[in-house]
Amino acid sequence: MLQSLATDPDRGLARNEAERRLGEHVANELPKARRAGLVWIFLRQFTDPLIYILLVAAVVALAIGSVSNAIFIAAVLLLNATVGAFQEARAESSAESLE
């Protein structure tokens, strides 16, 4: 195996041979994933089934004429999505810096 790779088990490759091989082959790195935008991260906050229940509750509150309850539920949903989006964006940024 070492003979087919033309290397020495004790010394490894010479610097110029390592650079030549790196030029022939790509570096052993994972491709970088495209980061989601802040708007997309914000919209993803509304994909939880419990959020759907709260959205239905807001619509029902509007249907029965309780506008103040519907506005309160909507405000809570928007606040939750905003906080969640900023936390997720910071977490993605931290994970990216660890790479």
pLDDT score at 15: 81
How confident is the model over 53-93, as pLDDT tens digits? 999 999 999 999 999 999 999 999 999 999 999 999 999 88
Separation of alpha carbons 99 and 32, rounded Å? 10
Separation of alpha carbons 67 and 86, rounded Å? 29
- List the structure tokens of 25: 């082959």
pLDDT score at 98: 77
Separation of alpha carbons 83 and 38, rounded Å? 12
Please tell me the total count of domains within the chain: 1
Separation of alpha carbons 99 and 94, rounded Å? 9
- Residue pair 83/42 in contact (Cβ under 8 Å)? The answer is no
Does the predicted model carry a pTM greater than 0.75? no
Range of the domain at 93: 2-98
Tokens 């906050």 belong to: 45
